[in-house]
Amino acid sequence: MKSRYEAAKNVFIDSIDIDDYIELESSVSAYRQLQHSIEKPLKMILLFGRPGTGKSILLNRVAEKLKHQKEIYYFDTPATNDKEFFHKLFKVLTKQDLPKNTEVNFSALVNYCKGLRGKREIIILLDEAQMYGPEMMEKIRLISDSRAVKFIVSLHKTEDEDLIAKEHFQSRIWEVIELHNASKEDQAAYIHKKLLKKNLFEIANSLKEKEMKLIHKFTKGNYRECNKLLFTIFEICEYYDKNEPSKVNYERVPQRIIEMAALKLGYIDV
């Protein structure tokens, strides 16, 4: 027999699937800001934030929502090398595959983009941009100078990537959108909405304000860490539900379960 906690656990598998998007006041604000920025005559837009603040799912949502209004492409996985990236870009620009073992002439590609100016506005959502090197980012900047291709560049906010952002975007970018970790209220709403979306009303109700504060304390409002912690909490609940149901409080997730999960993930020490 399946545990009632199995479905709850699976709700928090980390995903950027658009079906898993949860609408919060902060996420709606970020979406509207990005949408508004896309409408401006900008060459590049920087989406900035710590890992786990929701950059990828925001890009995914923008791509899904605007795909019928804009020529928009989501490059979710960074290319392993320049050749792979330019083959991908060539297909976007020409709608044809470049023959295998063919090298892209970068100057010709830039000139081709310039020829598209005024005819097409191509928007490329470039996720995980910290995976691209300085030389590659400079080429992307040169392509954006054609004003036929606009890049929304998503970048992790760490010390190294701060330097990348300053070196490659500071003088060329006109819009920076920064995502932050969730407040206690937003994180509580996020957790409840994810559970209610799957009709897990009783389990959602078992996480009260006190438990939400503890979860926020351990995760600091980071969505990725929140998913990991909730998955582990419900994994522990599932174990007890299957093996020692007399020890399960179905009306409220005990503090000790949350602390056990935090201990397992290394948020606290013994």
Q: What is the pLDDT of residues 177-210, one digit of tens each?
A: 889 999 999 999 999 999 999 999 999 999 999 9
| SS3 of 153-200 | EEEECCHHHHHHHHHHHCCCCCEEEEECCCCHHHHHHHHHHHHHHCCC
DSSP summary character for residue 208: -
Report the pLDDT value the prediction gives residue 151, as an integer from 0 to 100: 94
Query: Containing domain of residue 202, as a range?
Result: 4-15+182-265
Residue 20 lies in a domain: no
168 within some domain: yes
Is residue 130 located within the same domain as residue 39?
A: yes
The stretches of the chain forming alpha helices (DSSP H) are: 4-11, 25-39, 55-66, 82-94, 106-116, 134-144, 159-169, 184-197, 201-205, 209-219, 223-243, 255-265
Q: Tell me the C-alpha distance between 45 and 36, whole Å.
A: 11
Judgement on whether residues 163 and 193 belong to the same structural domain of the protein:
no
Query: Which of 160, 179, 198 is at the close of a domain?
Result: 179
Residue matched to tokens 């056990």? 260
Is the pLDDT score of 77 beyond 60? yes
Is 68 inside any structural domain?
yes
Angle at Cα 230 formed by Cα 195 and Cα 208, nearest 5°? 65
List, for residues 18-44, the tens digit of each pLDDT value: 777 788 888 889 999 999 999 988 888
Do 115 and 72 reside in the same domain of the chain? yes
Query: Does 270 reside within a domain?
Result: no
Q: How far apart are CA 41 and CA 144, in angstroms?
A: 11
The Cβ of residue 230 has, within 10 Å, a number of other Cβ atoms equal to 24
42 and 148 share a domain? yes
Say yes or no to pLDDT of 176 above 90: no
Largest CA distance in the chain: 71
> Taking the model in full, what pTM does it have?
0.86
Residue 81: name the closest of 155, 30, 132 by CA: 132
Q: Domain boundary residue among 179, 198, 219? A: 179
Span of 114-123, 126-135, 179-188, 191-200 with lowest mean pLDDT: 126-135
- Decide if 56 is inside a domain: yes
Whether 172 and 261 map to the same domain: the answer is no
Residue 89's nearest CA partner among 118, 68, 116, 62 is 116
- Asked whether residue 50 carries a pLDDT value surpassing 70, the answer given is yes
Sign of the Cα torsion 242, 245, 247, 251 reads positive
Q: How far is CA 178 from the centre of its chain?
A: 12
pLDDT score of 170 more than 60: no
One domain for residues 138 and 248? no
Is there a single domain that holds both residue 63 and residue 187?
no
Assigned domain for 64 exists? yes
**Tens-digit pLDDT profile for residues 203-239:** 999 999 999 999 999 999 999 999 999 999 999 999 9
Q: Work out the number of other CB atoms within 10 angstroms of the CB of residue 161.
A: 15
* Pair (50, 172) in one structural domain: yes
Q: 85-91: list long-range contacts, CB under 8 Å, 24+ apart.
A: 85/132, 85/136, 89/124, 89/143
Domain boundary among 158, 179, 200: 179
| CA 140 – CA 82 distance, rounded (Å) | 11
Residue 110 pLDDT level (bands cut at 50, 70, 90): very high
Domain count, the chain: 2
The answer to the question of residue 98 being in a domain is yes
